[in-house]
Amino acid sequence: MDITILGQQLLGYIPLGDIVLYLAPLNLFMFASTLAFTTIIAISKTETQVEADFGTLKDKEVKVDQKEFKIRRFLAIVCGLATAGAMITGDLFNFILFVCLIGIVNIGIVAAVKQVDVLDAAFQYGLVAMIAVLPLFGGAAMILASAGTISLLEIVNIPTTFMMLFGSLLLFIGVAGETGVAPFYATKAEMFRTPGSPFLLIIHLSSLLVIVRVIEILLIINKPF
Amino acid sequence: MSASLIIPTLVSPVVVSLFVPAIFTGLIVGLIGLMAIAYQKNDLSALILTDIVGIGMLILVAAVGTDLAEALILPGLVVELAEILAISEILMSREMKKKGKSAELIPLPLSMDMEVMTTAPTFLAIILIAYGAFLSGFTGGAVAGGGILVYVLSKRMRGVPADTWEGIAGVSGIAWCLWLVGFLLFFVFPQYWLLALFLAAFGIFIKVAFKAGLIGVIGREEFSKK
């Protein structure tokens, strides 16, 4: 079993001391698309929502003020860079730290809004993200204990044991909680009910790409084929 | 089994046999925390109880017991702290939005006026800074920074001039450059290792000691608000 799964070709390595990045078409594509989307977000302006009242003509504009806009744009760029890093890293623990950074930044993007129910949803999402740290780090620590390394390039050559299987199960639960996909999506859907659309979209994009990447990592660790 | 390949023979079998109980301890601690969160009704209690789950995570990472695991506990702890800070900030801003009031970022008791705060801080600060300079390095920087912090927080009642903070922040930046230069010297000219060692040690000493400058910047922003 090679590090390249799903019929990919390995294009090369970037060895930076302990940290070795590997370049494969899937990772490179996701990396480049994340960077492109982050650039689009960095140069775009926010939307303005209109809250319509049924039966009357009192439409209300909900705008984002300048200060909040700047904070949100910064956090969205950080989120995009963390997602790009998670796509291309060849180290399990770096991947986990990037995922945690995405979780924290997702909370931060909606932290400054004025709607109380959105803040409530962000609080619940934060609790789930914080609980998910346990299976996330615990799974990675179990994989480290049973494989002896956290470099994906080395784990490929080690036969899978039961502890590695259990650890990767925990890892998957942790990533699901941290990015807020099913079964934890209920609070995350509430978070989008605030103005400032292009910045909120990075929350979606990061969770989608991280799920694809974690499936690749789990295939590398467990070698089912 | 491949386990014997990885674990060196000089590790005692007692330590190796502790791994599985430690894993179970971590998972049980996490489960206890989750059950407590499920039972309670208060948001603040939920936030505090979530920290118990984080401690379970630390047990799981520490169970590995190698020096790599030691290096991984630190990011785990930082992530844990960052998340609890972010969530508590959200909780605070939600409550402020509900009640319509606002609170300071660092609520310092400005009206507190005690004699010990005007007489003792200079003496305490001098002793702490001298001891920190004797220690040097990161620990000394922390001790000396504590001394500066005592001085500043006590004198804050009288008002510290704003220019002082800018100066301290500037010195901190220069000291950081010293530290970097010292580090670079280690790699480029290993024969001057003593010079590099002293540059790095005292650079980081001054740098860590003047971390208090950051608090001053925040304090000045709070002053200018009023």
In tens, the pLDDT along B162-205 reads 566 667 777 777 887 888 888 888 777 878 888 888 888 888 77
Judged by CB atoms closer than 8 Å, whether chains meet at A100 and B3 is answered as no
Residue of B11, B60, B73 to mutate, interface with A, max A Cβ within 10 Å: B60
Residue A20 DSSP class:
E
pLDDT computed for residue A175 by the predictor = 92
At B84-122, the pLDDT tens digits run 888 888 888 888 888 877 665 555 555 556 677 677 777
Among candidates B85, B110, B2, which has minimal Cα distance to A164? B2
Q: Give me the residue from A97, A119, A148 closest to B75, CB to CB.
A: A97
Q: Are B103 and B95 in contact (CB under 8 A)?
A: no
Q: Is the pTM of this model over 0.90?
A: no
Of A114, A123, A146, the CB nearest to B90: A123
Q: Say whether residue A148 is in contact with chain B using an 8 A CB cutoff.
A: yes
Question: Scanning every residue of chain B, which has its alpha carbon at the shortest distance from the alpha carbon of A125?
Answer: B87
pLDDT of residue B214: 60
Cross-chain residue pair B79–A127, CB shorter than 8 Å = no
Coil, helix or strand for B71?
helix
Residue from the list B60, B68, B86 with its beta carbon closest to the beta carbon of A107: B86
pLDDT at res. A7: 62
Domain boundaries along the sequence of chain A: 12-222
Condensed to tens digits (0 to 9), the pLDDT of residues A9-52 reads 777 777 776 677 878 888 888 899 999 999 988 888 777 777 78
Q: Does the beta carbon of A104 lie under 8 angstroms from any beta carbon of chain B? A: yes
Q: In the prediction, which pLDDT does B1 show?
A: 43
Per residue in A157-181, pLDDT tens?
A: 888 888 889 999 999 999 998 888 8
pLDDT at B226: 43
Chain B partners within 8 Å of A126 (Cβ): 83, 86-87, 90
Put simply, whether A15 touches B (Cβ < 8 Å) is: no
- Cβ of A119 within 8 Å of Cβ of B89? The answer is no
Confidence band (pLDDT; 50, 70, 90) for B42? Answer: confident
Predicted confidence (pLDDT) per residue in A82-103, tens digit: 999 999 888 888 899 999 999 8
pLDDT for A82 equals 92
pLDDT, one tens digit per residue, over B118-144 is 777 778 888 888 887 777 777 777 787
pLDDT at B110: 55
pLDDT value at residue A66: 77
Using alpha carbons, select from A203, A201, A198 the residue that is nearest to residue A47.
A198
**Nearest residue to A90 via CA among A42, A137, A156:** A156
Locate all alpha helices (DSSP H) within chain A, ordered by sequence.
25-42, 66-88, 92-109, 116-131, 133-147, 152-155, 162-179, 185-191, 197-222
For tokens 């800018």, the residue is B166
**A105-109, B64-68, B206-210: least confidently modelled range:** B206-210
**Spatial CA neighbour of A113 closest among A199, A53, A178, A177:** A199
Q: If we measure between CA atoms, which residue out of A103, A63, A66, A40 comes closest to residue A196?
A: A63
8 Å CB contact of B53 and A126 = no
Q: For chain B, which domains are there? A: 3-99 (1.10.287), 116-225 (no CATH)
Q: Using 50, 70 and 90 to split pLDDT, how confident is the model at A224?
A: confident
Q: Give the span between the Cα atoms of B15 and B12, in whole angstroms.
A: 6
Of the candidates A207, A161, A151, the residue with the CA atom closest to the CA atom of residue A182: A207
Q: Which of B16, B41, B90, B225 to mutate to test the interface with A (most CBs of A within 10 A)?
A: B90
Which residue in the set B26, B75, B82 is minimally distant from A138, CB to CB?
B26
Residues 6+ apart with CB under 8 A from B56: A134, A138, B26, B27, B28, B29, B30, B33
Task: Flag whether residue A196 sits within 8 Å of chain B, measured between CB atoms.
Answer: no
Q: How confident is the model at residue A1 (pLDDT cuts 50, 70, 90)?
A: very low
Average pLDDT over residues B44-53: 88
